[in-house]
Structures are given as structure tokens and as C-alpha cells.
Amino acid sequence: MSNFRLDPYLWIHLSGLAALPLWLAMSLLGLAIGYPIWPVGVEIAIVAAIGIVPILVMQWFKPFYIFSVLIVAIKPEQLTPQQCQILTRFKTPLNQRLAIIAPLLLIPVLWQLYRLAPLAAEVVSLPPQGRLLGLSIASLGFLGCNLFLQVPISAIAVLFTPKTQLAAREPLTPDSIRQGFTRIGLQVNRILPRSLLPSTPENSLSSLESREPTET
């Protein structure tokens, strides 16, 4: 078994952490628009709920499909068996626990952003009456924060998986991948050159179903 930790898609999504400050800045600017129209706790709860719940539900039931980049995703039948073994790590209780822990880490950050929002009001040119627009922008930014934290944390969990443990897992079939993961974008046969992948080119999933054990 080749070193699954060299799979470039794991590192691509791990690097998504670098975009986290941009989404935090977006939330801060949104919170800086207008004057509060509800109590502090209510406004924070609104932004937190919109930003957390959709990503939490996705990661809990249909985790994000990491073999994708921007608006393109690799067809499940084009994955190598090793890549399908990697996906099994996203369908574990550990990944579900991480889906709860990650947003809990961001809630104190959201509270601090709310406190700092008046300082950022000077750079926001929108009228102070646009509080609902501001909360919408803040919620969208916080949604991005959760996405770009949740997916990298899941990738880190895979990277820390013992090699023997991953090798012992049964690869997911193309149908189970289609049904069990959130795949966004155009479905393609390949995104990155095969030379960048740790697995050999001939290890495709096209024959995986034919190798499934038959009942006796």
C-alpha cells in the first residue's frame, strides 16, 4: 500500500485553513453594518445558527467529498481503492464528533468579532439602517468559516490514521460514495495529473464492484 498521506487532495483541503481569516473578516464587516436591532445574544445566535447548522448537518450525514477542487469533482468510479479507503474515515463516529467540536471552537471567536464590530464600522460605507443585510453577510462569512474549518479538521484526522488501520478498511463502492457524500460541481474523470497521486494508475475503481465477494 502506498503512502496515503501523500494524496494531494488531503493537502489541498488542509490548506483551506489559510482562507479562514478571510471569512472571519467577512463576518466582522457584516457585524459592523448598522445598529443592533435585537439583543446581543439573539443576533449572535442567528449568525451562529445559520453558519453552523448547514455544515454540521452535512458533515454528520453526508460529509464533504474531498476529491474535488473548486467547481469540479472526480467521478467516484475513477477513484483508486486507496482513495475509497480514505473516504471511509469520513464516515466514522470520530468525524461526527469533530463536526460538533469544530463549531464550538468558533463560537467564542464570533463573540469577539461582535465586540470588535464597532471598531470596523468606520470602514463600512453602507447605511446604518442595513442591519439585516449586515447580519446576512456575517452569517454567510461564518458559514464559510465553518466549512473551511470542518473540512481541514477532517483531513487532519485522516492524516493521523495509522497506515495499517486504513489498509484494513473495505473501500467504499461508487454507489455508496454517491449516496453518502456531498459532491459539488462538474463531475470529471481527472483533475490532477496521475503522477501526483501516490496510488498506481491501474488501481482504478472501475473493477471494484466485480471484485466484491460473493455469498456462498
Span 26-44, pLDDT tens digits: 999 999 998 899 999 999 9
Give the start-to-end residue ranges of the domains of the chain.
Answer: 4-190
Residues of the chain with pLDDT under 50: 199-216
Kindly tell me the burial class for residue 101, based on how many C-beta atoms sit within 10 Å of its own C-beta (0-12, 13-18, 19 or more): exposed
Q: What pLDDT shows up at residue 203?
A: 45
Q: What torsion do the CA atoms of 190, 78, 204, 175 make, to the nearest 10 degrees?
A: 170
Cβ-contact 152, 16 below 8 angstroms: yes
Q: What is the pLDDT of residue 20?
A: 96
pLDDT attached to residue 216: 37
pLDDT confidence of residue 196: 66
The DSSP result for 54-66, as a single string, is HHHHHHHHS-B-S
Check residue 130 and give its pLDDT. 85
Three cell numbers, residue 159 = 492524516
User: Can you give the pLDDT at residue 121?
Assistant: 82
